[in-house]
Amino acid sequence: MAMQDDSSATRRPQIFHGGCHCGAVKFQVRVEQFEIIDCNCSICQKKGFLHLIVPPEQFELLQGAEALQTYRFNTGVAQHHFCGICGIAPFYRPRSHPQHYDVNARCLDDEPLEVLLQHFEVQPFDGRHWEQNIHQLTDQPPVEGHERLRES
């Protein structure tokens, strides 16, 4: 899928397809806000997750619900879904936006990642200090006194 070369403010919504490595899990996502978040928290760093957060009406699981497994840690709010066959984590339900889907941009199949990223604004996020920085992603105030908690 060829992307239009215009600013993210005037870009028209686009549908992207993605999934896991083995093909058991497939989804499509409608992108209206061309912003990706690059978080450095422990789990995102280890998984290489590049966050594309969308409301539920812009995400559709096309196949593979039965193949999905879920990992939770720390607060237990985030639902880290992964394919039980190949282990790839193409999307999850994030702690920062629990009613939304968070798609791993690395799992989008329409274009090579290096081409895809040219059309998105990539925002770094200090997830190692998640509680102090969550206000950058949501309307939530920084959480005081929980320096040891990590993004889950």
pLDDT band at 9 (very low <50, low <70, confident <90, very high): low
Residue 21 domain flag: yes
Tell me the per-residue pLDDT of 59-78, one tens digit each, with 9 for 90 and over. Answer: 999 999 999 999 999 888 88
Torsion of CA 115, 47, 60, 76, to 10 degrees: -150
Kindly report the number of other CB atoms within 10 A of residue 61's CB atom: 16
Residue 26 domain flag: yes
Residue 34 domain flag: yes
Residue with tokens 């282990």: 87
When divided into structural domains, the chain yields a total of 1
Assign residue 123 the CATH number of its domain. 2.170.150.70
Residue 148 domain flag: no
Tell me the per-residue pLDDT of 14-42, one tens digit each, with 9 for 90 and over. Answer: 999 999 999 999 999 999 999 999 999 88
Separation of CA 53 from chain center: 5
Residue 5 domain flag: no
Question: What's the pTM?
Answer: 0.80
Bridge partners (DSSP) of residue 51 are: 37, 104
| CA count, 13 A, side-chain hemisphere, 101 | 20
Residue 112 domain flag: yes
Domain that holds residue 39: 14-136
pLDDT: which is higher, 10 or 70? 70
Residue 31 domain flag: yes
Distances (CA, A) of 27 to 12, 32, 61, 149: 20, 16, 4, 31
Residue 51 domain flag: yes
